[in-house]
Amino acid sequence: MHICTYNIRTFREEEKRKEFEEEISKIKWDIIGLSETKCKGEHLIKLKNGHTLYTSGNANNNKHGVGFLIHKKLEEKVISIKGINERIAQLTLKINQRYKMKIIQVYAPTTGYDDQEVIEIYQQVENLLKEEKTYFTIIMGDFNAKIGKKQDDKETAMDNFGIGDRNDRGKMLIDFALKSNLQITNMRRIFDTQETRRKSNKYKRYK
């Protein structure tokens, strides 16, 4: 299964939608988590191509916004989709007869916002982790954080391939991942259809 995340900047402009469609035509995808959609309110739309688009935004303005684009071949596997607010949405899928997957899409505040707003986002995500348990959990999105290079062997939430410096939001992200037993990564193969049982114990959760 191919799962990725994309900061689209806005879904309200035709030019941006065409740019997005062109970009995803070049890759394999099954689920795309969307950040900064800037769509007001909550919408679930079946597109002309058969794919499903879900967006969750503020009811009163076009700021922020998150969502999912779900490939038509997965339509029958969707158990639930819900928007927590304009920064967090959750999708739950049935992988097979035995396993389910929960995907949480996040668009975290930029550095222009107070740290307390970021803390509240992580608290909300933590609450979602404690709710209905699934065998696989993925948290992804735009966290507006720079984690940089690994600084200590105790930072088991990240590998040794980071680059650059770390900012305060990056430290917050690492602390949250360590606390929640998550793995931070840009890309990781969790499983394929034939190998779910063998791989699942190794990668129960990742980011």
DSSP secondary structure string for all residues of 39-107: --SEEEEE-TTS-EEEEE--SS--SS-EEEEE-GGGGGGEEEEEE-SSSEEEEEEE-SSS-EEEEEEEE
Q: What is this structure's pTM?
A: 0.87
How much is the mean pLDDT over the chain? 88
CA distance 176 to 133: 19
- Nearest 10 degrees: Cα torsion 136, 184, 81, 123: 110
Higher per-residue pLDDT: 89 or 23: 89
- pLDDT of 195: 40
User: Percent of the chain having pLDDT more than 70?
Assistant: 90
Q: Which two tokens stand for residue 13?
A: 């402009």
Only one residue has tokens 């394929």, namely 192
The domain locations on the chain are: 3-206
The CATH code belonging to domain 3-206 is 3.60.10.10
How many CB atoms are closer than 10 A to CB 172?
A: 19
**pLDDT surpassing 90 at residue 3:** yes
For residue 19, pLDDT over 80 is answered with yes
Taking residue 107's Cβ as centre, other Cβ atoms within 10 Å add up to 26
- Identify the pLDDT of residue 139: 96
